[in-house]
C-alpha cells in the first residue's frame, strides 16, 4: 500500500521570512500525521531555511529545479549535490512551467533525473498534456513519450522510489481540474506503462500523484481514485489552513 504523498509547490511565492513562518505554524498541526508523506518545495532562497525550520519533523523539503552538471560555468544554475547539501531530499523536475516557459524537453528532464538520482535526491517528475493535445485526443501518446524519453535509462529500483506527478497543463492555476474519470484514465495509463516498461514491483511502489487546481474541496474525490497516490498542490498550498485541510482530507479513510 502506497502512503499518500502531498507536496506543496510554492513556485515563485514567499520570502524566506514567510516560508519559515509557514513551516513553524504547520509543523505542530501535522506532527501526528504519520500516514501521509508531506513535502514543501519553496523557492530556492528558502530551501535551507525551510530545512532548518522542518528539522526533526515529518515535513520533507524539495527544490523546484536543478541543473544536471555537478559544477561549472553555468551562471544562475544549481546542481543536484548542492541541493542535497542543503538537507533537501526531493527535487521537482520537468514542471510544465519549466517546459513551457524555460524550454525544457524530455531530453533535459532525463538528464536532470539521472543527475538527481546520482545525488540521492528523490525526483518528483512532472508530466502532462496541454489543452491542444487533449483536444486532439493525444493525451495518452504524449504521456507515453514523456515517460519513455524522460525516464530512459532508469532502473526498476529508481522507478520504485520515484514520484511521478500527472499535471494536465490546462488544469494548472485555472481552477478547472480534471474530472475523476479523466484523472483516473491518465493515472491508470501511467501505472500500466510503468508496469510494462519497468516491472510490476517498481510500478506498484512508484507514487503517481495528481496536480492541477487541487483544493481542500476536491482532494477527497481525487485521492479516492485507485491510482492517484496524492497531489502536487500549487496555489492552495500557500495558505497554512488550506494546505493542512488538503493533508487531512487525503489521509487513508480508516485513520481519520
Ligand atoms: P495549481 O494547484 O495552482 O493549479 O498548480 C498546480 C501545480 O502546478 C503544482 O505543481
Cα–Cα distance, 57 to 172 (Å, whole number): 29
Residue 254: pLDDT band (50, 70, 90) is: very low
* C-beta 233 within 6 A of ligand 1: yes
pLDDT digits over 180-235, tens only?
A: 999 999 999 999 999 999 999 999 999 999 999 999 999 999 999 999 999 999 99
Average pLDDT over residues 142-165: 98
159 grid coordinates: 522507478
The model's pTM is 0.97
Whether 94 and 102 have beta carbons less than 8 Å apart is answered as no
167 is catalytic: yes
95 is catalytic: yes
What is the pLDDT at residue 173?
Answer: 87
Closest-CA residue, ligand 1 atom 7, reads 234
How many domains in the chain?
Answer: 1
For a substitution probing ligand 1, which of 233, 238, 242, 243 has the most ligand atoms within 8 Å of its CB? 233
Ligand 1 closest atom vs CA 237: 2
* Domain ranges, residue 215: 5-255
Whether 11 and 92 have beta carbons less than 8 Å apart is answered as no
* C-beta 242 within 6 A of ligand 1: no
CA of 144 to the centre of ligand 1 (A): 22
Q: What is the pLDDT of the chain when averaged over all its residues?
A: 96
CA of 83 to the centre of ligand 1 (A): 22
What is the pLDDT at residue 177?
Answer: 82
Cα–Cα distance, 51 to 46 (Å, whole number): 8
Share of the chain above pLDDT 90, in %: 95
Residue 89: pLDDT band (50, 70, 90) is: very high
Q: Is it the case that residue 253 has pLDDT exceeding 90? A: no
Is the CA virtual torsion 82, 146, 41, 169 positive or negative?
Answer: positive
Closest-CA residue, ligand 1 atom 5, reads 234
CA of 208 to the centre of ligand 1 (A): 15
CA of 34 to the centre of ligand 1 (A): 24
CB atoms within 10 A of CB 32: 8
**CATH number of the domain to which 145 belongs:** 3.20.20.70
* C-beta 234 within 6 A of ligand 1: yes
Average pLDDT over residues 69-74: 98
Residue 255: pLDDT band (50, 70, 90) is: very low
CA of 164 to the centre of ligand 1 (A): 14
What is the pLDDT at residue 251?
Answer: 94
Amino acid at each position: 500500500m502506497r502512503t499518500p504523498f502531498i507536496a506543496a509547490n510554492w513556485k515563485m511565492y514567499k520570502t524566506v521570512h514567510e516560508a519559515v513562518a509557514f513551516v513553524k505554524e504547520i509543523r505542530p498541526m501535522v506532527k501526528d500525521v504519520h500516514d501521509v508523506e508531506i513535502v514543501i518545495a519553496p523557492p530556492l532562497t528558502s530551501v535551507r531555511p525551510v530545512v532548518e525550520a522542518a528539522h526533526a519533523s515529518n515535513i520533507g523539503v524539495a527544490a523546484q529545479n536543478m541543473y544536471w552538471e555537478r559544477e561549472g560555468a553555468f551562471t544562475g544554475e544549481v546542481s543536484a549535490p548542492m541541493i542535497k547539501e542543503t538537507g533537501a531530499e526531493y527535487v521537482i523536475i520537468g514542471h510544465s512551467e519549466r517546459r513551457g516557459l524555460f524550454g525544457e524537453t524530455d531530453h533535459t528532464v532525463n538528464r536532470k533525473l539521472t543527475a538527481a538520482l546520482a545525488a540521492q535526491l528523490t525526483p518528483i517528475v512532472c508530466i502532462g498534456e496541454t489543452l491542444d493535445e487533449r483536444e486532439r485526443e493525444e493525451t495518452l501518446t504524449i504521456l507515453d513519450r514523456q515517460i519513455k524519453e524522460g525516464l530512459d535509462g532508469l532502473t526498476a529500483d529508481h522507478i520504485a522510489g520515484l514520484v511521478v506527478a500527472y499535471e494536465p497543463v490546462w488544469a494548472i492555476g485555472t481552477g478547472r481540474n480534471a474530472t475523476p474519470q479523466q484523472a483516473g484514465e491518465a493515472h491508470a495509463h501511467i501505472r500500466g506503462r510503468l508496469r510494462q516498461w519497468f516491472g510490476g514491483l517498481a510500478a506498484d511502489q512508484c507514487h503517481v500523484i495528481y496536480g492541477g487546481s487541487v483544493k481542500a474541496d476536491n482532494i477527497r474525490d481525487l485521492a479516492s481514485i485507485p491510482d492517484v497516490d496524492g497531489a502536487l498542490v500549487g496555489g492552495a498550498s500557500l495558505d497554512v489552513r488550506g494546505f493542512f485541510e488538503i493533508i487531512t482530507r487525503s489521509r487513508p479513510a480508516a485513520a481519520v
